[in-house]
Amino acid sequence: MISPLEIGANAVNALSIVLAGRNSVHTWWTGIVGCVLYGWLFFGTQLYADATLQVFFVFTSIIGWKNWARGDQRPVARTGARALLTYLVIALLLAAGYSALLHRYTDAFAPVPDSLVLVFSVLAQLLLMRRRVETWYFWLLVNTIAAPLFIHRGLILTGLLYTGFWINALIAVRHWRRLAAQ
C-alpha cells in the first residue's frame, strides 16, 4: 500500500525535477523538501544508505540554490578517462565498505544495492554540480539499481518515479553531449 508519506515525497521530488528541467532556481528548495520526506520514508523502510543520501542531497541542494541564485554557471564539459576511472574505483571501494558496515551493524534490507545507490548518487551529484556530461551515465546506473530496489521494498510509486528519472537521464545525456561539443 502506498503511504501518504511516499505520495508526498514523490510529488515534491517530481516537481523539483520538472523545475530543474525548466532551469528554475525553485528546483533547489523543492528538492530540499523532497529529500527530507524521502529521508524519512527510506529510514522507515530500512534503506539506511538511501536515507543517509538524502542528507547529502539537502546540503548539496543548499549549495546549488546559493549558486543558481547568484547566477553561477559553468560550461558543460567532459571528465577525463583517468579521473573517471579513479572516481569509479574509489566509488566501488566505498560502496563495499559501507555495505559491510550496514550488513554488520544494522538490519538493512539490501546493503549492497543500497550502498551502490548511495555512493554512485554522491558521485553523480558531484559531477552534476561541476556540469560534467558523465553525471548522466551515473544517474542511469543509479536509477537502474534504485527502481527495482524500491519496488521490491514495496515503494511502488518511488520505483516508478525512479524509472521516470532513468528516462530523464537518458534524454539529458544526449542533450549534455551536444552542449559539451559546442
pLDDT digits (tens, 9 = 90+) for 32-50: 999 999 999 999 998 888 8
Residue 114 and residue 171: Cα distance in Å, rounded? 25
Q: Which residue segment(s) compose the domain that 148 sits in?
A: 4-72+80-181
Q: Across the strands, what pairs with 31?
A: none
- pLDDT of 86 > 80? The answer is yes
Number of folded domains in the chain? 1
What are the distances in angstroms from CA 167 to CA 39, 133, 172, 179? 23, 16, 9, 19
Q: Which residue in this structure is represented by grid cell 514495496? A: 154
pLDDT grade for 130, boundaries at 50, 70 and 90: confident
pLDDT value, residue 9 = 96
| pLDDT tens profile 1-18 | 789 999 999 999 999 977
Residue 19 and residue 37: Cα distance in Å, rounded? 18
- Residue range 73-94: average pLDDT? 92
- pLDDT of 141 > 90? The answer is yes
Output the pTM of the full model.
0.86
